[in-house]
Structure 1
Amino acid sequence: MTARTLLTDEVLERIHGRAATHDAENTFPHADLADLVELGYLRAFVPERLGGSGLSLEEVAREQTRLAAAAPATALAVNMHLVVTGLAARLVADGDESVEFVLRDAAADEIYAFGNSEAGNDLVMFDSVTRAVPDGEGGYRFHGTKIFTSLSPVWTRLATFGRDDSDPDDPRLVHGVVERAGTSTRDDWDTLGMRATQSASTVLDGAHSPVTRTYRSFPPGPNADPFMFALFATFEVLLAAVYTGLAGRAVELGAEAAHRRRSRKNDGAPYADDPDIRWKVAEAAMRHDGARLQVLALARDVDERADHGARWFAQLVGLKVRAIEDARAVVDLVLRVSGGAGYSTGNEINRLYRDVLAGIFHPSDEESAHATIASSILGPPTRRD
């Protein structure tokens, strides 16, 4: 079956042309977002019956690799909206209507951000330092600070969570959606790379999730709620897709540099004829090819409800770590192929070299991924020193 597509070459070219300026000026790509909204890209996961395109996870992953090749930071920012709408689309397709409002919001061009990460919380989704205070009507007010809130200048809805300790004997992790009221955005995004995401910190000071938008409550720690699988599957696959798309663009830059550079030692022959350069470009291409095939294959497995049993989470976190590490290796190889010119700030491979480093900070990190995979094969550790 031919994959459906929403992104046009014309729009991707425009987005690519703006990427360097947004990186240099540390600004949000408002024009990129406007182009994507006009294409209906933010409604990619929304079912056709609600006014969207109803794309699968595999189809959106393909699109994200293309968008990331044009502008990695724009793709990473939009990823957060797509994660929220993608997990909602999966749950709704499986009969869970508690999050259908997310898809209706997206159909009305509301922009979702993903407000879960917290400084110093290495339990990530299994606990929270944000307080979730019951409002007495089944909803909650959240108090805390979320970091790495991509789309911070433009989001209109924030999917977030916190811990409800109102019953000391039954603490709960509560997930819901808030609007801008009761929130503020810190001006603290001045980073090495992925600058156009503008992933500033968001302070929650009583931000309200009414009962109609509070869709999960469960104990701290791992659990088997389908929400957790939908979240991890969508997040890890689309994250891997972004960095794989970045790596694909790096391979193109490596080929361009190899043909452009000339060797005085070899009578002006292009570096593309040099066996060492050819090896580096081939190695970069092999790593990218493998990563791309893995992303699309696992996305298809998610779409088709494949049975990986107890190893599903191991497959997902492993994909993320491999995609990031492969992308880092690809960019490093291409930087070597590019020569000294690649060290200049205005060179695109310089920007990709900085952008790709952000991947190591997204969950799951290398340590937790290895722990998850080890437990899926060896079982949990029997003793802890």
Structure 2
Amino acid sequence: MTKSIRLLPVLLVTVLLAAACQSPQDSAKNDSWDTVQKESIDTIWSTWDETLKESHNNIYFEKDLQCEKPQEVAVYQLEQADDVDKKAEQIRREYVPDKEFDKKYYKENPNTVPPGPEYVNEKTGQTWIIGNNGFINYSRSSDDTNYLDSAEDVEKTIFVNRPYKDEEITLKDGTITLSQAVEKAQKEEDKWKKLSGDECSTRPKKIEILPAADGGEGKAVKISFEKTYKGAGILTEQKTTETSQDKPLAVDYLSFFDDTVTITSVHGIERIVSNAGAVHQKTVERKLDQIVSLKSAIQIMEKELAAYHDFKVSHIELCYRYVNEKIERNDAGNIYTTSPCWVFYINEEQYKEEFILVDCETGKMDYIKNY
């Protein structure tokens, strides 16, 4: 693996439509969605299991699918942080204590994107970089570069946002179970959320087992975290400009990489990266007492995808899309409108994502297949 200690631009992985998308209000005029059934989240979750047991012509579900119930569903305006770098010295001491700090490797304003200080110790490999928007890239040393983490090199992927087998993984200096790795990583995530002032939380999404570059037995464990807001996920999956039905997305949204924490030793985490940064709530545009029901969302899929092959859903979430057609990345101070949707995952393999979105307000559906 090529060692890289330069700060990469924190670009949101997004392609904006060339033409303006329909607004949710315009989309609702389509006759296909005029009669969608709406229910409260309490009703939806109380009938969850019953709904998934119903038979459908071309939609099937993995056994015992569950989804975290959000505290509420609303259309918010969230604002990207713009002042995290003002707490740089306080934050730096949490990651690079004074006894480890060598000032000659510190740059207060290295002209990077996003703006913020960086510390890269060329002797130890210790790296600490933050941005004013809540970005962080911290490595205890350069040890994570001794493992292969490209998509084709990952030995195994375990989704931990559903029941999973708690395996034991061999590291370079001992063993760790998946649940222990998740616990350590979650503490590191929570630490950064508190330091950066992020009003979003995170929950573990998947674990990737990375092989050693030299072929050794010791592995690395890389945990990806999904951002959440009041219990609803923030949709990060990449999407194409058009859907698999060769039409523009009903709601164009910004997508970005999940937070990740890498563990190479039993003694603690090796690296944390948060590209999404930190946000806080600016306003509540409207609260949604009722949304498109799970049953209605499934019926919409069944009708719209009747001409396609059978679909097997591996995971379901209620998520928010970040919407702002005027921007391409999460620069400090940007404003996002949250657009709630049901997400039905068909394939969750990296760069081969296949999923279906059903808008929680209008019932408008997008079928996205990134391969």
What TM-score, normalized to structure 2?
0.24
What TM-score, normalized to structure 1?
0.23
| Greater fraction of residues in strand | 2
